[in-house]
Amino acid sequence: MTNSLFDDFDLRGLKLPNRVVMAPMTRARALAEVPDDLTARYYEQRASAGLIVTEGSPISREGTGYVFTPGLYTEDQVAGWQRVTDAVRGRDGRVFAQLWHVGRASHVSLQADGQPPVSSTSKASGDSAFAYLPDGTPGRVDASTPRALRTDEVPRVVSDFATAATNADNAGFHGVELHAATQYLFEQFLNSQVNDRTDRYGGHTVANRIRFTLDVVDAVVERVGADRVGVRLSPFSTVGGMPADDRTEETYLALADELSARRVAYVHVHDTSGFGADANSIGARLRALLPHLRGDGTAIILAGGLTRRSATDLIDSGLIDLAAFGRPYISNPDLVERFRDDIPLAPANPAHFFGGDAVGYVDHPAATNLSA
């Protein structure tokens, strides 16, 4: 097995010390929806990653779909994220903020004045949200039936993304990633089975399906520059009640061409099939699509069930440039060092994945501390 996972990488001028990416993971630890000292410690511990992509950060109250998620739309939140980026940069790390709007994957208890969530559609997902129970305690509830955005409201949502990108820049992030994957607002426009609109953002043509995503990309690029913008996609995903879409290839090939023309820094592909045990295990349709997502200088990140070996094989094959790991980073803050030194990975406890305090969050020791 080669050591290509530990080679450096030039991400449009941002020098990454290795090809390991910490994937975005919701941890629901921000009790006031503001990053705090625990948040800073959590990311600082993992700063040896070539690149960190933070947990999804809602761009507005409207975009929130989970309790205790740190946003990027108030001054306090920006100041909180500044503590995080200072901590990561203090360890010579690189970190992008993931900008998030969940669309219909929300609940009225999370929305201002109990309003319904907004989406491309008024169809409910049939999935759940991590929101507030009738007694005010957090828990799983059925996602609320959404309200379809009016055409004249869409520019406001685009503007919210642009403002959040500026906030991320002011907070000291190296860049931003748009969460256009796994059931959330972008996918609700991209999926022709969900998007039943008949306006210029409607699902009946590929140009209209991808228009909202491109409007946001353009607005964010104008604020922070294309070299500092990544886009996360999950073609063929059925997460969160998303139906299979026979127009997926058409949609994502067209989107890939447009992202390439805009010279974004990277496309971050989330393989939600659970595959990834070896270099040949990616779903056949996703494997065929990956080369088309690589634009002129656009890097490809792949996430989803990867191991050190499968990630290395995929990098060596030229199919991807960077490999993202999520769950292994929960209990292995020194994942890069463990991979490099062939140290077994510590298991994570699912009981501490979401919510809680420092336990299961910042108390996982590095392997060097265990042997000291």
Task: Return d(Cα 39, Cα 30) in angstroms, integer.
Answer: 8
Structure tokens at 337: 């060092």
Query: Does the active-site annotation cover 184?
Result: yes
Task: Return d(Cα 275, Cα 59) in angstroms, integer.
Answer: 31
160, 73 Cβ separation under 8 angstroms: yes
CA distances from 4 to 1, 20, 23, 162, 338 (A): 9, 10, 19, 35, 15
According to DSSP, the residues that pair with 66 across neighbouring strands are 130
Length of the chain equals: 372
Task: Return d(Cα 290, Cα 267) in angstroms, integer.
Answer: 10
180, 186 Cβ separation under 8 angstroms: yes
Among 66, 184, 252, 266, the active-site one is 184
Task: Return d(Cα 336, Cα 109) in angstroms, integer.
Answer: 40
The helix/strand/coil state of 232 is strand
Dump strand ranges (E) for 236-345.
Answer: 266-270, 299-303, 322-325
191 alpha carbon, distance to own chain's centre: 18
Task: Return d(Cα 91, Cα 171) in angstroms, integer.
Answer: 17
Query: Which of 242, 307, 244 is closest to 281 using CA atoms?
Result: 307
Encode 176-203: b = buried (16+ Cβ within 10 Å), e = exposed.
bbbbbbbbbbbbbbbbbebbebeeebbb
Query: Which of 193, 225, 221, 220 is closest to 209 using CA atoms?
Result: 193
By annotation, the residues acting in catalysis are 184
